[in-house]
Structure 1
Amino acid sequence: MDILKVQGLCKAYPAFALSDVSFTLEAGHITGFIGRNGAGKSTTLNSLLHYVHPDAGRITFFNQDWEKNELAIKEKIGFVGSSIQYYPLKKLSKITAITRSFFSQWDDVAYARYMTLFNLDENKTPKQLSAGMKVKYALALALSHNAELLLLDEPTSGLDPVSRDELLDVFLTLCDKGKSILFSTHITSDLDKCADDIIYIKKGQIIAEESFKHFVTRYQVVTLPEGTTPSANDPRLMGIKRSKQGDTALVRTTDAAGLGFPSREADLEDIMVHFEKENPSCMQSI
């Protein structure tokens, strides 16, 4: 079942625009939303809940139209935005009490469990928390009302490696229980550990939407021998990147053997780095 369906989402600003953004999320999947800074990830996520009002497009959650079922849908969604702001001098216990009142399915047992897991003290104020601890607190709130879908904008940003790993374990456990997660991130190694699917946005347009495994295995990285000057018009070479060990390029796995250059499997970071160097005219066929 598609838990979220986005069709033709558009939002124009003077210097940037989302253009015909369309994608679906499958229930029980973890989906990574990737793209460089300014590509449109936060604008898309905020548009889904109308924190940013789209110029066009249709958004349905759980087969319900957002415009007609906003309150019911919000009960089923946990959202953590990229800029988390709380009353700086209010204790977390007070903020939690206010948040609890908005959700009929609030789970105090789950809340206590996540506060313990994230090593959070309810007697502290947001002003006393580091950036990473504020993210953890926001996640504790989002995870505590039995949401069926989590929309998370850079949730692992500012967390240390151990805390990130703990959070990814939580994501995997939630997925096992049938929950769905869409999260944007620049830390591609996090997606290597947990993502089922990938949505890639570049300059306000979706350029890839598919399973993580299929997306990654479609590409390899070739190392060009020293002194090689490949033709810029060779459509097989995508996003040539300089390196002291030999320039590299991304190629489709089906083309790698025919080039005759040393090659290796690409990971998600390889693909992102080379895609962002690629000539826009070549991106239509990725």
Structure 2
Amino acid sequence: MENILEINGLCKSYRDFSLKNVTFALPKGYIMGFVGQNGSGKTTTIRSIMNMTKFDSGSISVFGLDSVKDTIEIKQRLGVVFDSMYLAEHLTARQIEQQIRPFYTKWDSDDFFAYLKRFSLPDDRCVGDFSKGMKMKLMVTIALAHKPELLILDEPTSGLDPVARDELLDILSDYILDENRGILFSTHITADVERIADYVTILNNGSVWFTGSKDDLAESYAVVKGAESAVPDGLKGRMIGFHSYRNGFEAMIRTEDMRGLPDALICEKASIDEILVYIAKEAKNAGHTECDTL
């Protein structure tokens, strides 16, 4: 299976935060959900892929090219949507299209205006007057208009109403029908990941906590609840994010550790949201803190 994106041993240190040996790969033809709480390192990783941040060590390959040495060629073939708009707000969408078009060899003006129409965006109104959701849809339109082979999206559904979110996810699903493409999809809305992603990478405090197929993740963890007295000796230490209540406890457990659990305990498959919550509880139990800004 050929990878469209490979990250190996990525390290980047700031004064109060660091990426630590981040390693994962995205195969061609698939969507990867890139998740983790604020401060886990998702944006730093994305900026490193884009050669917008100088990392300390490791390597990043996009289309088999070096992310630093071949950055110009990579950016011709890459579409990116950040979580805030970078466009001049006094311009209209039509004027923005005229300014951006010369930079891309595969820019398609017909596609650009077709996406504007699909998203119900005006082409003659200053984009500074757009709502947050409209601005996000405009950036998605720009990202798609030059026919990228890899899409990197940082919180693309943030600020979108449910109808627009559904429409965007449909567009991404159509885009990935071309098996030579790929999508790295960073989001806090894990329901979107569960709907369209094939692979999931979870970052926690600058490190990869999990990377693999969404199905493998779903089968690997469960939430267990019940009376704390019913927990077998030695198992509590292997539970993740253990939390006691007056009437019992709840925690996450690896499915491989579920053998021999008493019937008195309730076990349910863990959603991605629940996995992130229990990771955070485990960090709190261990006395760790997270940076809220990177």
Common fold by TM > 0.5: yes
Residue number in structure 2 paired with 1:184: 186
CA displacement at 1:24 relative to structure 2: 1.1
Residue number in structure 1 paired with 2:290: none
> Of 261, 266, 272, which residue of structure 2 is paired with 1:268?
272
Taking structure 1 as the reference length, the TM-score comes to 0.91
For residues 226 and 208 of structure 1, the distance between their equivalents in structure 2, rounded to whole angstroms, comes to 28
Most deviating of 8-17 and 105-114: 105-114
Most deviating of 192-201 and 84-93: 84-93
For residues 171 and 156 of structure 1, the distance between their equivalents in structure 2, rounded to whole angstroms, comes to 12
**8 Å contact 2:239–2:253 — kept in the other structure?**
yes
1:194 aligns with 2:166: no
Most deviating of 41-50 and 224-233: 224-233
Residue number in structure 2 paired with 1:165: 166
Most deviating of 184-193 and 51-60: 51-60
For residues 244 and 85 of structure 1, the distance between their equivalents in structure 2, rounded to whole angstroms, comes to 50
**8 Å contact 2:51–2:68 — kept in the other structure?**
no
Alignment of 1:12-91 (within 5 A): 12-91=13-92
For residues 57 and 216 of structure 2, the distance between their equivalents in structure 1, rounded to whole angstroms, comes to 31
Q: Kindly tell me: are residues 230 and 137 of structure 1, through their superposed partners in 2, closer, same or farther at Cα, counting changes over 3 Å?
A: farther
Residue number in structure 2 paired with 1:211: 213
For residues 213 and 90 of structure 2, the distance between their equivalents in structure 1, rounded to whole angstroms, comes to 44
Where 1:192 maps in the other structure, the secondary structure is helix
For 1:133-164, what per-residue CA distance to the aligned partner results, in whole angstroms no more than 9, with x for missing partners?
11110000001111000011111111111111
Q: Kindly tell me: are residues 134 and 231 of structure 1, through their superposed partners in 2, closer, same or farther at Cα, counting changes over 3 Å?
A: farther
For 1:44-97, what per-residue CA distance to the aligned partner results, in whole angstroms no more than 9, with x for missing partners?
101111112212221111111123322211111001122322212111211111
Most deviating of 167-176 and 32-41: 167-176
Alignment of 1:144-155 (within 5 A): 144-155=145-156
Which amino acid in structure 2 is aligned with residue 81 of structure 1? F
Where 2:222 maps in the other structure, the secondary structure is strand
Residue number in structure 1 paired with 2:127: 126
For 1:89-121, what per-residue CA distance to the aligned partner results, in whole angstroms no more than 9, with x for missing partners?
111211111111111101222212211121111
For residues 41 and 217 of structure 2, the distance between their equivalents in structure 1, rounded to whole angstroms, comes to 20
For residues 232 and 162 of structure 2, the distance between their equivalents in structure 1, rounded to whole angstroms, comes to 39
CA displacement at 1:231 relative to structure 2: 7.8
Q: Kindly tell me: are residues 248 and 72 of structure 1, through their superposed partners in 2, closer, same or farther at Cα, counting changes over 3 Å?
A: same
Most deviating of 245-254 and 133-142: 245-254
Aligned Cα root-mean-square deviation (Å): 2.3
Percent of residue pairs bearing the same amino acid type: 37
For residues 187 and 278 of structure 1, the distance between their equivalents in structure 2, rounded to whole angstroms, comes to 21
Where 1:104 maps in the other structure, the secondary structure is coil
5+ residue gaps in structure 2? 287-294
Which amino acid in structure 2 is aligned with residue 27 of structure 1? K
CA displacement at 1:22 relative to structure 2: 1.5
Residue number in structure 1 paired with 2:292: none
For residues 90 and 214 of structure 1, the distance between their equivalents in structure 2, rounded to whole angstroms, comes to 46
For 1:179-220, what per-residue CA distance to the aligned partner results, in whole angstroms no more than 9, with x for missing partners?
210011111110110010011111111121100010111111
Q: Kindly tell me: are residues 46 and 254 of structure 1, through their superposed partners in 2, closer, same or farther at Cα, counting changes over 3 Å?
A: same
Where 1:97 maps in the other structure, the secondary structure is helix
Q: Kindly tell me: are residues 118 and 5 of structure 1, through their superposed partners in 2, closer, same or farther at Cα, counting changes over 3 Å?
A: same
Where 2:24 maps in the other structure, the secondary structure is strand
Residue number in structure 2 paired with 1:222: 224
**8 Å contact 1:30–1:182 — kept in the other structure?**
yes
Taking structure 2 as the reference length, the TM-score comes to 0.89
Q: How many positions carry a matched residue from both structures?
A: 282
CA displacement at 1:246 relative to structure 2: 5.0
